């Protein structure tokens, strides 16, 4: 019903347009209607009380008790995040209005508009399809934060296990799957209307320039939260999916890989083994080791996937869930503005790095050790030490520096500051 009402409204607006706007192509009317419909489809998630109710259900399923006192606050934070996601569609609608006015005033031809707008809606749809996944991940972040907060409360102050639980609670956003919601609200995937005075800057160049400038600012913050770095890296991976990489960027490792490795480094597995060695509760020990195993298996899957990416022959089909040039859900997209999707580039070295190979072997050894029915305290400590070595492989202190190189505007501050 909402979609039908939106389409009726769009039709009414088109019929009420002045006579000099009758040359506006029907595609703009259709694009406006689809953007409004996508907005309306996702608006319910950001409605009053919806986020809190969803989080409450997740807390019940996760057996969360102590942290239920945070439901009002955390539910409001979720609602604010998801409301900003909706602003993305308002940003696109405003950009479309600019093209509508330019066509009506004769500043651009219909052919120019058709060419400029041909790649817009696949990108808008890609973002719309990703938002429910971001919402689910946001909920799971708070559920995990609540788990660790409940655990710290259950343990009580102030031994090592207590502080380790608090550290885990504070780190839950450092491997989140969603970008900064305010960045999504401001992201514009429409090209600029040409003015004839200066060459318009494409949407990919604008997005990467803004990303690089924020990475530069964040790099100067000594106490920047890992979650803030993670959000920028996830956003960079998203831009790579939408637009491809700027020309001249390294081809061997994608931004999605960079984001994944940063998440692994920010949520190491070793502390979970150390917590398991400290507790006397068999139930808690099993829970901690299960979580440690999940983290290690995610790393093992990542390394196997990277090995496949590096070793496959160029042109062979490769199943990559979020490979550049492919929208969430697998719909192929074409990169615009001269940016080449990395999926079309040379895959780079044919073998993984020695540290990655060593980490893969260490992870397999740890997973094998977890299956040992004779695993004792000394064995847990040994597995923790081995996990710490494997965790260190994923740390990349230059991640923000890499993001700053994505700005290909020769007049930008980030470009001028480079040697």
- Whether residue 19 is predicted with pLDDT greater than 60 in this model: the reply is no
- Whether residue 204 is predicted with pLDDT greater than 70 in this model: the reply is yes
Does residue 139 contact residue 54 with C-beta atoms inside 8 Å?
A: yes
CA angle 68, 71, 75 (to 5 degrees): 155
Query: In the numeric block, which tokens belong to residue 136?
Result: 């689910």
The dihedral of CA 333, 120, 217, 328: what is its sign?
negative
Please give the model's pTM, rounded to 2 decimal places: 0.81
pLDDT tens-digit series, residues 130-154: 999 999 999 999 999 999 999 999 9
Residue among 215, 172, 74, 189 nearest 130 (CA): 189
Q: What per-residue confidence (pLDDT) applies to 100? A: 93
DSSP 409: -
Residue with tokens 């740390």: 395
Reading phi first (left if > 0) and then psi (alpha if -120 to 50, else beta), residue 247 is in beta
Residue with tokens 């009414």: 12
* Average pLDDT of the residues of the chain: 83
Q: What per-residue confidence (pLDDT) applies to 408? A: 67
- Whether residue 271 is predicted with pLDDT greater than 80 in this model: the reply is yes
pLDDT tens-digit series, residues 49-106: 999 999 999 999 999 999 999 999 999 999 999 999 999 999 999 999 999 999 988 8
Burial 134-144 (b: 16+ CB within 10 A, else e): bbeebbebbbb
């Amino acid at each position: 019903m909402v979609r039908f009402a939106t389409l009726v409204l769009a039709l009414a607006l088109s019929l009420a347009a002045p006579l000099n706007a009758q040359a506006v192509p029907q595609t703009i009317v259709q694009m406006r209607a689809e953007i409004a419909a996508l907005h309306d489809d996702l608006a319910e998630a950001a409605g009053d009380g919806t986020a809190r109710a969803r989080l409450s259900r997740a807390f019940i399923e996760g057996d969360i008790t102590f942290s239920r006192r945070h439901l009002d606050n955390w539910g409001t934070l979720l609602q604010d995040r998801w409301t900003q996601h909706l602003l993305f569609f308002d940003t696109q609608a405003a950009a479309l209005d600019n093209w509508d006015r330019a066509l009506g005033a004769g500043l651009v031809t219909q052919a120019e508009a058709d060419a400029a707008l041909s790649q817009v809606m696949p990108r808008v749809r890609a973002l719309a399809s990703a938002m429910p996944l971001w919402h689910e991940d946001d909920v799971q972040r708070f559920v995990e934060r609540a788990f660790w907060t409940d655990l710290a409360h259950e343990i009580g102050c102030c031994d090592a296990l207590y502080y380790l639980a608090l550290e885990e609670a504070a780190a839950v956003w450092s491997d989140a799957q969603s970008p900064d919601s305010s960045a999504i609200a401001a992201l514009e995937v429409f090209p600029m209307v040409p003015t004839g005075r200066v060459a318009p800057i494409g949407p990919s160049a604008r997005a990467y320039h803004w990303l690089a400038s924020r990475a530069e600012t964040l790099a100067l913050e000594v106490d920047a939260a890992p979650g803030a770095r993670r959000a920028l890296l996830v956003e960079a991976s998203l831009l790579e999916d939408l637009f491809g990489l700027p020309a001249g960027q390294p081809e061997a490792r994608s931004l999605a890989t960079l984001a994944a490795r940063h998440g692994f480094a920010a949520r190491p597995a070793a502390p979970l083994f150390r917590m398991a060695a400290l507790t006397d509760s068999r139930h808690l020990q099993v829970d901690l080791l299960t979580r440690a195993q999940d983290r290690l298996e995610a790393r093992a899957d990542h390394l196997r996937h990277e090995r496949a990416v590096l070793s496959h022959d160029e042109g062979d089909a490769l199943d990559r869930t979020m490979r550049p040039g492919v929208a969430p859900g697998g719909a192929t997209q074409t990169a615009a503005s001269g940016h080449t999707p990395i999926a079309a580039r040379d895959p780079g070295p044919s073998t993984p790095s020695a540290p990655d190979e060593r980490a893969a072997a260490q992870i397999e050894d740890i997973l094998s050790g977890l299956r040992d029915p004779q695993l004792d305290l000394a064995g847990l400590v040994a597995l923790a030490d081995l996990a710490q070595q494997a965790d260190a492989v994923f740390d990349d202190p230059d991640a923000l520096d890499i993001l700053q190189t994505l700005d290909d505007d020769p007049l930008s501050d980030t470009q001028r500051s480079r040697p």
